[in-house]
């Protein structure tokens, strides 16, 4: 059984400029398999928030398996998501570049997990020695650049990894939270950022209450003092036993 909560909050810079939140994420559980995806629209792309939503929603429609998928299967699901992005751009009278977004996805089953990433942001999961990540954020060749699903050469930069062991905790976040969630100099995960958040999901009440708490955290002064970008965070934990209904303070 999986417990899942996710949300996106508009960055303070976008509030000031009048831009919408360009992040989008979603997740679902099919059978015993958790399927999640997040996208971060390019700040310079006029309709990138629509591209993020089109790609994530389509991936969740097609990505489904009860057994360990191959890298080719994962890539095929992402290609279908990209096709939806391009179709949405054409229907809007726009170019794919105007719908540009990064893309992160994960499928977690019993005894296995599949991760995919194009661009920045990060996927985090529990490992034997603390929290780990399959890929370091791809920030491109120059400062403040990254890779996008809309690009013709996207396959050259798409990273996919299959892990054949049990994963019980999963987080996916866009680059707006990277400075809080990662030790950039040490190239590792800040365990102290994730531990109380996963505990809150594990021990908390229903997902609606948890989502409200998550959105409050993402929009808090503490977080906004560290980043003015859009912020997206998805948290999932595998529940294997009853836990007391006590929601810790996610901002602690």
Q: Is the pLDDT of residue 18 over 90?
A: no
Tens-digit pLDDT profile for residues 98-111: 999 999 999 999 99
Number of Cβ within 10 Å of residue 81's Cβ equals: 24
Residue 97 included in any domain = yes
Q: What CATH number corresponds to the domain at position 137? A: 3.60.40.10
Residue 246 included in any domain = no
Rounded Cα–Cα distance for residues 76 and 73 (Å): 5
- pLDDT at residue 140 in the model: 56
Mean pLDDT confidence for 35-64:
96
Tens-digit pLDDT profile for residues 182-224: 998 999 999 999 999 999 999 988 888 999 999 999 999 999 9
Residue 249 included in any domain = no
Q: Is the pLDDT of residue 31 over 90?
A: no
Range of the structural domain that residue 147 is part of:
2-238
- pLDDT at residue 138 in the model: 87
What are 104's strand-pairing partners?
Answer: 38, 117
Contact criterion met (CB below 8 Å) for 129 and 23: no
Residue 190 included in any domain = yes
Residue 186 included in any domain = yes
Q: Is the pLDDT of residue 119 over 90?
A: yes
Rounded Cα–Cα distance for residues 194 and 200 (Å): 10
Residue 251 included in any domain = no
Residue 107 included in any domain = yes
Residue 243 included in any domain = no
Total tally of structural domains belonging to the chain: 1
- pLDDT at residue 244 in the model: 39
Q: Is the pLDDT of residue 46 over 80?
A: yes
Number of Cβ within 10 Å of residue 123's Cβ equals: 24
- DSSP strand pairing (23-30 vs 33-40): antiparallel
pLDDT classification of 241: cutoffs 50, 70, 90: low
- DSSP strand pairing (33-40 vs 103-109): antiparallel
């Amino acid at each position: 059984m999986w417990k899942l909560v996710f949300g996106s909050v508009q960055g303070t810079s976008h509030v000031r400029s009048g831009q919408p939140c360009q992040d989008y994420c979603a997740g679902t559980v099919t059978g015993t398999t958790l399927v999640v995806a997040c996208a971060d629209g390019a700040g310079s792309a006029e309709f990138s928030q629509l591209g993020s939503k089109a790609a994530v929603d389509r991936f969740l429609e097609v990505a489904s398996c009860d057994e360990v998928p191959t890298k080719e299967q994962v890539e095929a699901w992402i290609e279908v998501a990209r096709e939806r992005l391009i179709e949405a751009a054409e229907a809007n009278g726009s170019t794919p570049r105007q719908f540009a977004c990064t893309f992160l996805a994960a499928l977690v089953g019993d005894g296995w997990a599949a991760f995919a990433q194009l661009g920045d942001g990060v996927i985090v999961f529990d490992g034997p020695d603390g929290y780990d990540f399959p890929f370091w954020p791809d920030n491109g060749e120059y400062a403040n650049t990254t890779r996008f699903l809309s690009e013709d050469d996207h396959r050259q930069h798409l990273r996919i990894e299959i892990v054949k062991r049990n994963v019980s905790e999963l987080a996916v976040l866009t680059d707006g939270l990277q400075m809080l969630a990662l030790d950039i100099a040490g190239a590792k995960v800040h365990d102290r950022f994730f531990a109380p958040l996963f505990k809150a999901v594990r021990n908390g009440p229903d997902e609606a209450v948890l989502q409200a708490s998550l959105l409050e955290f993402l929009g808090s002064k503490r977080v906004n003092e560290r980043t003015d970008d859009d912020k997206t965070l998805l948290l999932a934990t595998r529940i294997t036993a009853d836990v007391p209904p006590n929601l810790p303070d996610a901002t602690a």
